[in-house]
Chain A
Amino acid sequence: DVKVTQSSRYLVKRTGEKVFLECVQDMDHENMFWYRQDPGLGLRLIYFSYDVKMKEKGDIPEGYSVSREKKERFSLILESASTNQTSMYLCASRSAGGNYGYTFGSGTRLTVV
């Protein structure tokens, strides 16, 4: 089974801190995604990457950046954390070859105080 691992389940950070959320998948998937999920707003796409060193903005990229230096790892960076970035962050991956589904990590609950 494909595994998508998010490094932290819970994080508490201070306003203004630079925050790194890490996501690693173990099945050589080309496509990787970062979402945030908030009550009443559903899943919103922040950034995605269709292959190594590639990145594309999603629907809400403001205040975030990403890094994909290796195929298995996709990092989400909050340049200067703010309280409105308190949310559940979900990483997903998918193989680009064929009509495969998406595999999600277990999520990181980030609280910015």
Chain B
Amino acid sequence: KQEVTQIPAALSVPEGENLVLNCSFTDSAIYNLQWFRQDPGKGLTSLLLIQSSQREQTSGRLNASLDKSSGRSTLYIAASQPGDSATYLCAVRGGSYIPTFGRGTSLIVHP
């Protein structure tokens, strides 16, 4: 059974820092991995989707990488801003319709 772990569970950084969020998974037989952002009391917003054949995806200040063989993905946020404060979740899709979610990393960027 796939297990997805996100470390750290919480992170507080000053504005302007570059930071890395981690997502690890136990079964490397995946179709894709998706990063989401969730603001308090809201739904999940998709940030990046990486297919198993890809190594990375970029959107603005966000860059997600995927290393299937080691069961790891990272989400890199450049020049963090207070508006980046949110919970970030990763979801791994294997052979079924059902994704496996991590518990998320709660990020606070303070001015």
Contact = CB atoms under 8 A, between A and B. Distances in A.
Is A bound to B?
yes
For chain B, give the interface size range. 20 to 34
Contacts, number: 47
Contact of B34 (A6, A33, A101): A101
A63 to B, nearest CB: 20
Nearest to B35: A101
Interface string A79-99: 000000000101010101001
B49 A106 contact: no
Contact of B91 (A50, A100, A102, A105): A102
B32 A42 contact: no
Given A48-B98, A96-B97, A103 B46 contact: yes
Interface residues of A, number: 24
Chain B interface main SS type: strand
A113 interface: no
A73 interface: no
Nearest to A43: B101
Contacts of A103: 46
Contact of B99 (A42, A102, A106, A107): A102
Interface of A: 6, 31, 33, 42-43, 45, 48, 50, 58, 88, 90, 92, 94, 96, 99-107, 109
**9 smallest beta-carbon distances between A and B, as pairs:** A101-B49, A104-B44, A106-B43, A107-B43, A104-B43, A101-B34, A42-B103, A43-B101, A99-B31
